[in-house]
Amino acid sequence: MSRKRSTRRWLFVALGAAVMGGAGTYQFVWSSLSAAVSARIPASQTALGTVFTLFVVAQTLVQLPAGSIRDRYGPRKLLFAAAALMFAGYAGLGVAPTLPVVYASYAIGGLGAGIAYTVAVNTPVKWFDEYRGLATGIVSMAYGGVSFVVIPLVRGAIDAAFTRTLLLLGVAVGIVGLFAAGLLRDPSSESSGPESSTTTDSSGTDTTETDSAGAPSGSDDADDAVGWRTAARTWQFWVFYGVMVVVNGVGLMLIGQSVGFTTGLGLSAATATTVASIIALADGGGLLVLAGLSDRIGEERTAGASLVLCGVALAGAVASGARGYASLFVVFVGAAAFFRSPVFAIFPSLVGRYYGEARSSENYAAIYTAKVPGGVFGGTVTGVLIATVGWSTAFYIGAVLVVGAGVGALSLRPVQTDASATSDASRST
């Protein structure tokens, strides 16, 4: 690989991280926006919760068609659309006169965030064989990491200048999306331009860069990749899906209920504030550190072991919190967040390796729809569990589920494809 090409693909990782960070603001900044929205437009907690639910559904379900389009036509037009939608979402929210307009605006922003997410998270899959886990971890970490910086700025300005703050936020995420749209490329589209990935060896023979499986790097022949309908006929697909349901469900359970969980165990409000900050930092740290480690010790092994450790840490948090050990409780909660997050960087790479990089965006987007049932578990089901069996038992159940998900991830093995599966993939296009 030429030095210029190697440098360029890391530039694309940086662009993907910037786009991912802009998309992530819709999820992480909402908690800072909801009170200000309620002050302008009287709304119950249920109504405000519905705004976020509509965002999650829109952001999740748009990724399947967006992933399919990206695999076929590249990222440029999708990123233009994402930039426009994310700007429109914040701008519409900033001037919304009624609750239905708030619903529509945040759902529109969710569509843009979903498109941006699926383009960004699959960019390393297209460009990397070695260091793929590290590259995907950098992009994924930005989803919450950028919001960690943005949230204090928004909280400091939203009450005094609601409309202006949201318009500026919309302009910022829109400009990032437009900038990325102008520069980001996939290897297949680039190879047709003046700078091809084909190189010349010492004998003057043209050679094409190949990955470890012998396929052209970042530009799988379409015949070697299968679409989501064919992928869904393999047991590995449903292991991926089940793990993602649990990871999203228990993750949203931990993130959304962290303050209530802490105080429900009898710990102080100061401890609850510390826990909320630790979760955000540990989540990003796990994405970067363990996704990078997966390049060395294997993706399936890293994903499975990290989820088992997540479950153990979550159980430790319950046990220590119930006994009043606040410091130990914070450490265990941070460890649970640290070990939960790497799946979001590792699975896009695994899906590309199992089913072919040429349709990796489409296939991972199909698996990512697990966020919808996961969200139902993390919200409604968790609320029922807490009301029925209490905080400790509810989170012990979450710990057991995560350990089970880890065992499932450890069982993953590469898919054995054949000609009939390839033929079916072509028919399903």
Sequence letter at residue 406: G
Among the three residues 142, 165, 189, which one is the final residue of a domain in this structure? 189
What sign does the dihedral 15-16-17-18 (CA atoms) show? positive
Q: 425 lies in a domain?
A: no
Q: 292 lies in a domain?
A: yes
When pLDDT is cut at 50, 70 and 90, the band that residue 124 belongs to is confident
Give φ, ψ of 33 to 5 degrees.
-90, -30
- CB neighbours of residue 164 within 10 Å: 12
Considering the domain architecture, whether residues 174 and 255 belong to the same structural domain is answered as: no
Asked whether 172 and 22 are in contact (CB, 8 A), the reply is yes
What is the pLDDT, as a whole number, of residue 189?
54
What is the pLDDT, as a whole number, of residue 224?
67
Q: 197 lies in a domain?
A: no
What is the pLDDT, as a whole number, of residue 194?
35
Among the three residues 137, 169, 189, which one is the final residue of a domain in this structure? 189
Contacts of 260 (CB under 8 A, 6+ apart): 386, 391
Whether the per-residue pLDDT at 105 is higher than 50: the answer is yes
Asked whether 369 and 60 are in contact (CB, 8 A), the reply is yes
Q: Residue 47 to residues 38, 55, 98: CA-CA distances in angstroms?
A: 9, 13, 12
Of 127 and 86, the structure prediction assigns the larger pLDDT to: 86
The rounded distance, in Å, linking the Cα atoms of 326 and 84 is 45
| Radius of gyration over every alpha carbon of the chain, rounded to an integer in angstroms | 22
What is the pLDDT, as a whole number, of residue 312?
97
Considering the domain architecture, whether residues 166 and 249 belong to the same structural domain is answered as: no
Considering the domain architecture, whether residues 234 and 182 belong to the same structural domain is answered as: no
Per-residue pLDDT tens digits for 240-292? 999 999 999 998 888 777 878 888 899 988 888 788 778 877 887 888 888 88
Considering the domain architecture, whether residues 356 and 233 belong to the same structural domain is answered as: yes
Considering the domain architecture, whether residues 249 and 311 belong to the same structural domain is answered as: yes
- In percent, the amount of the chain with pLDDT more than 70 equals 87
Based on the number of CB atoms within 10 Å of its own CB, is 7 exposed (0-12), middle (13-18) or buried (19 or more)? exposed
Closest C-alpha to 270, from 194, 217, 327: 327
When pLDDT is cut at 50, 70 and 90, the band that residue 38 belongs to is confident
Q: 205 lies in a domain?
A: no
Whether the per-residue pLDDT at 181 is higher than 70: the answer is yes
Whether the per-residue pLDDT at 163 is higher than 60: the answer is yes
Considering the domain architecture, whether residues 142 and 229 belong to the same structural domain is answered as: no
- For the residues 115-137, what does the mean pLDDT come to? 85
Q: Residue 121 to residues 24, 105, 163, 306, 365: CA-CA distances in angstroms?
A: 12, 24, 31, 20, 10
Considering the domain architecture, whether residues 123 and 239 belong to the same structural domain is answered as: no
- For the residues 93-103, what does the mean pLDDT come to? 94
Per-residue pLDDT tens digits for 61-89? 999 899 889 888 889 999 999 999 999 99
Asked whether 71 and 358 are in contact (CB, 8 A), the reply is yes
- For the residues 406-428, what does the mean pLDDT come to? 67
Supply the range of the domain harboring residue 75.
Answer: 3-189
The rounded distance, in Å, linking the Cα atoms of 379 and 402 is 17
Q: 198 lies in a domain?
A: no
Of 31 and 115, the structure prediction assigns the larger pLDDT to: 115
Contacts of 135 (CB under 8 A, 6+ apart): 9, 10, 13, 124, 127, 128
The rounded distance, in Å, linking the Cα atoms of 78 and 362 is 13
**Start-to-end Cα distance in the chain:** 32
- Dig out the tokens for 26 from the structure: 């819709």
Q: Residue 383 to residues 179, 369, 379: CA-CA distances in angstroms?
A: 42, 22, 6
Strands 198-200 and 206-208: antiparallel
Q: Which CATH number goes with the domain that contains 95?
A: 1.20.1250.20
What is the pLDDT, as a whole number, of residue 44?
80
Closest C-alpha to 206, from 187, 221, 191: 191
Per-residue pLDDT tens digits for 326-348? 999 999 999 999 999 889 889 98
- Dig out the tokens for 282 from the structure: 């540990």
Considering the domain architecture, whether residues 283 and 416 belong to the same structural domain is answered as: yes
What is the pLDDT, as a whole number, of residue 188?
67
Of 369 and 419, the structure prediction assigns the larger pLDDT to: 369
Considering the domain architecture, whether residues 52 and 158 belong to the same structural domain is answered as: yes
Considering the domain architecture, whether residues 144 and 270 belong to the same structural domain is answered as: no
Domains: count for the chain: 2
Q: 212 lies in a domain?
A: no
Considering the domain architecture, whether residues 342 and 410 belong to the same structural domain is answered as: yes
The rounded distance, in Å, linking the Cα atoms of 26 and 109 is 7
HEC sequence for the chain = CCHHHHHHHHHHHHHHHHHHHHHHHHHHCHHHHHHHHHHHCCCCHHHHHHHHHHHHHHHHHCHHHHHHHHHHHCCHHHHHHHHHHHHHHHHHHHHCCCHHHHHHHHHHHHHHHHHHHHHHHHHHHHHCCCCHHHHHHHHHHHHHHHHHHHHHHHHHHCCCCHHHHHHHHHHHHHHHHHHHHHHCCCHHHHHCCCCCCEEECCCCCEEECECCCCCECCCCCHHHCCCHHHHCCCHHHHHHHHHHHHHHHHHHHHHHCHHHHHHHCCCCHHHHHHHHHHHHHHHHHHHHHHHHHHHHHCHHHHHHHHHHHHHHHHHHHHHHHHCCCHHHHHHHHHHHHHHHCCHHHHHHHHHHHHHCHHHHHHHHHHHHCCHHHHHHHHHHHHHHHHHHHCHHHHHHHHHHHHHHHHHHHHCCCCCCCCHHHHHHHHHHC
Q: Residue 53 to residues 47, 102, 106, 248, 371: CA-CA distances in angstroms?
A: 10, 12, 10, 14, 11
Of 310 and 198, the structure prediction assigns the larger pLDDT to: 310
What is the pLDDT, as a whole number, of residue 384?
85
Considering the domain architecture, whether residues 264 and 179 belong to the same structural domain is answered as: no
Indicate the average pLDDT of the chain. 83
Per-residue pLDDT tens digits for 216-226? 333 344 456 78
Q: 195 lies in a domain?
A: no
Whether the per-residue pLDDT at 423 is higher than 70: the answer is no
Q: 207 lies in a domain?
A: no
